[in-house]
A and B are shown apart, each in its own frame.
Chain A
Amino acid sequence: MRLNILDMTKEFGNHRVLDSVSLYLEDVRSLVLIGPSGGGKTTFLRILAGLEPITSGEIMVNDHRLSCSEEKLLEYRKHIGMVYQAYNLFPHLSALENIILPLTRVHGMTKRDAEDHARSLLKRFHLEEHAAKRPVALSGGQQQRIAICRAVAIKPEFLLLDEPTSALDPEYTSEVLDLIRELHEEGMDLILVTHEMGFAHSAADYVLFISDGGISAQGSPAEIFEQSENHRVSRFLDKVLKYTK
């Protein structure tokens, strides 16, 4: 994917969350965002997802220029997949219906094609036995995996994931990360916010460290995780990794 961000600023009221951020990246297949909580990672991701108009600046994502009008952003959102921390699935619909809804209502597929497509996706990720279940009947890990299926079912240009495992019981973390890795290996481009540093290290092409209203550090995983001289980064990594060594 290609990202070209120029002087992007985002304010909520008079609270400036991102302050003239610029970034140019080409041929990145998985971009990982790390950083302290409240640093602006979610805001950054929601902007890239077309969910939040920016206050000023310019953004090009692949061939799309992100505009400020909701209609154009709606059109843009049809090309991307987004997965949140939790509660991604609609509780009144079964797993299968959750996947079918955007296919039929947004992407104009017939009910039959959508169902075939959804079933084959569930089957591929060993979730077919859960097709008829409502979210309440599913574990957190299963819910997240189905949410990811729904996001990729539309064949998005890339997948945005905001801490997809943070709200899960630890035992479910690996099944979700495995699925993400599998998708990535099959060619799905990713932008991922995560606190799973091990996964970030191994899966990322490029890492952004977001704090204090901008990108405080960036580089390859090796540069960020092993050789960073930025004291903010090393302090953050020390804290996050304290009990994992």
Chain B
Amino acid sequence: MSEKNSLQALFLRPKNWQMDSVKKENVWILSVNVLLVGILLSALMWFGFSRLQYVFMWEHVWYYRINMINGFLMTIVISISSLGLSVLLGIFFGLAQRSRIHMLRIFSRIYIEAIRGTPLLVQILIFFYVIANALGLNNRYVAGILIMSIFSGAYLAEIIRAGVESIGSTQIETARAIGLTKRQTYRFVVFPQVITRVLPPLAGQFASLIKDSSLLSIIAIKEFTLAAREVNANTFSTLESYIPLAIGYLLLTLPISYLTGRLERRYRYET
């Protein structure tokens, strides 16, 4: 092997490399490249901060660590509750779009288009200051979970509708031919397949939900982002407040995106 070839092997993947060939890449090659990317990024950051002449004062933020942790936990609670509720909304409105009742179909369409076509920030403000007020809903945490559920439910409804529609009409016809009722067809034919198909986008939606819930800080819900903003306001240590914030969100979203990737791969092999 010539020197040039071994250099090439270190930095370039072979030409005949394919997505499907499950062959593990050489661990050594991979770690060298990860390390190089790491050094490059650190150099870039170091350069950026050196121009800023920023003096890190971590001890101020450390003093407020309990607030940060509580905010982090609150974000988890809000995200999980909203996910559960939005799955119910998503299933209902996803199926309602196929309903025979015109009003139900129209209502779902309006709901989905209105939510997907407006910024979450606007939805939060309108829901909290107009609708929640009118309903006499005083608990802002409940309001926050409701808003996030309504927001996320619209996206899930589309995911679920697409999943149900991806089950071919021949399968529905076959189910009828063997004598299954409509309900049985959904239960034994449609749902089992839809679930495997919507799991990856569902996981992706969960990751978005976690990040998007940061906007709830504007209605003074003490979640992760508000905690960081408060620490910043008290200590004037902007970066020391927001860097842990970014890392905290990554801690939540990275495992989900890893899971999404795995689910997608498994689904690909199943079909």
Q: For residues 95 through 142 of chain A, which have their beta carbon under 8 Å from a beta carbon of chain B?
A: 101-102, 105-107, 134, 136
A91: Cβ under 8 A from any B Cβ: yes
Establish whether residues B170 and A78, one from each chain, have CB atoms under 8 Å apart when the complex forms: no
B119: Cβ under 8 A from any A Cβ: no
A88: Cβ under 8 A from any B Cβ: yes
Establish whether residues A136 and B179, one from each chain, have CB atoms under 8 Å apart when the complex forms: no
Instruction: Scan B164-198; emit 1 where CB is below 8 A from any A CB, else 0.
Output: 00001011011111111100100011001100100
Which residues in A have their C-beta under 8 angstroms from that of B184? 105-106
A222: Cβ under 8 A from any B Cβ: no
Q: Tell me the complex Cα distance, A90–B168, Å.
A: 10
Which residue of the partner chain, among B170, B180, B193, contacts A105 with CB atoms under 8 Å?
B180
A181: Cβ under 8 A from any B Cβ: no
Chain B interface size, as a band, is: 20 to 34
Smallest CB gap from B171: residue in A: A90
B271: Cβ under 8 A from any A Cβ: yes
Which residue of the partner chain, among A87, A90, A92, A106, contacts B179 with CB atoms under 8 Å?
A106
Nearest CB on B from A158, distance (A):
13
Which residues in B have their C-beta under 8 angstroms from that of A151? 178
Residues of B within 8 A of A (CB): 168, 170-171, 173-181, 184, 188-189, 192-193, 196, 270-271
Question: With A74-B176, A84-B170, A88-B170 given, can you name 13 additional A-B contacts, CB distance below 8 Å?
Answer: A51-B177, A77-B176, A77-B178, A78-B179, A84-B173, A88-B174, A90-B171, A101-B180, A101-B188, A105-B180, A106-B179, A154-B178, A154-B179
Could you list 21 examples of A-B contacts with CB < 8 Å?
A: A49-B177, A74-B176, A77-B176, A82-B177, A84-B170, A87-B171, A87-B174, A88-B174, A90-B189, A91-B171, A91-B271, A92-B192, A92-B193, A101-B188, A106-B178, A106-B179, A106-B180, A136-B270, A150-B178, A151-B178, A154-B179
